[in-house]
């Protein structure tokens, strides 16, 4: 089974509107971390936001917030007040196990296009 599932290959949003990018995950670990990265056409992976499995509050970083629903195993990214520069690929990722453990598992990504 896929550890990270992103079901939206592409999304469009009007400039200044909010958009939600979906992510579901699959793990049997109690301790894990969820990440969202942005990948512009230049290729680098830019860290956006992190949510630990034991964090009780949803993570927020500026215009980014993570809607963490543990029972549903979902970790959706909400981008508020979209800007043209938000157009990029967005990847959800998961680290299994305790802090400092190994690699990240990535989803297939969602391409976000912001329309002027």
Partner 1 sequence: DTGVSQNPRHKITKRGQNVTFRCDPISEHNRLYWYRQTLGQGPEFLTYFQNEAQLEKSRLLSDRFSAERPKGSFSTLEIQRTEQGDSAMYLCASSLAGRVYGYTFGSGTRLTVV
Binding mask 57-86 for partner 1 (x = CB under 8 A): ------------------------------
| Contact with partner 1 (CB under 8 A) among 4, 13, 75, 88 | 4
Task: Give the interface size with partner 1 as a residue count (CB under 8 A).
Answer: 25
CB-based contact 76:64 (threshold 8 Å): no
Of 88, 87, 92, the closest CA to residue 108 belongs to: 92
| Contact with partner 1 (CB under 8 A) among 91, 94, 112, 114 | 91
Contacts of residue 13, Cβ cutoff 8 Å, sequence gap at least 6: 19, 79, 82, 86, 112, 113, 114, 115
Does position 107 interact with partner 1 (CB under 8 A)? The reply is yes
């Amino acid at each position: 089974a896929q550890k990270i599932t992103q079901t939206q290959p592409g999304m469009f949003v009007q400039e200044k509107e909010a958009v939600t990018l979906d992510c579901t995950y699959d793990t049997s670990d109690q301790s894990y971390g969820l990440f969202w990265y942005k990948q512009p056409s230049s290729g680098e992976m830019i860290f956006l936001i992190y949510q630990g499995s034991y964090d009780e509050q949803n993570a927020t970083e500026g215009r980014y917030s993570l809607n963490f629903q543990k029972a549903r195993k979902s970790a959706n990214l909400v981008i508020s007040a979209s800007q043209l520069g938000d157009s990029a690929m967005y990847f959800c990722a998961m680290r299994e196990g305790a802090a400092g453990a190994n690699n990240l598992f990535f989803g297939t990504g969602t391409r976000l296009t912001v329309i002027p």
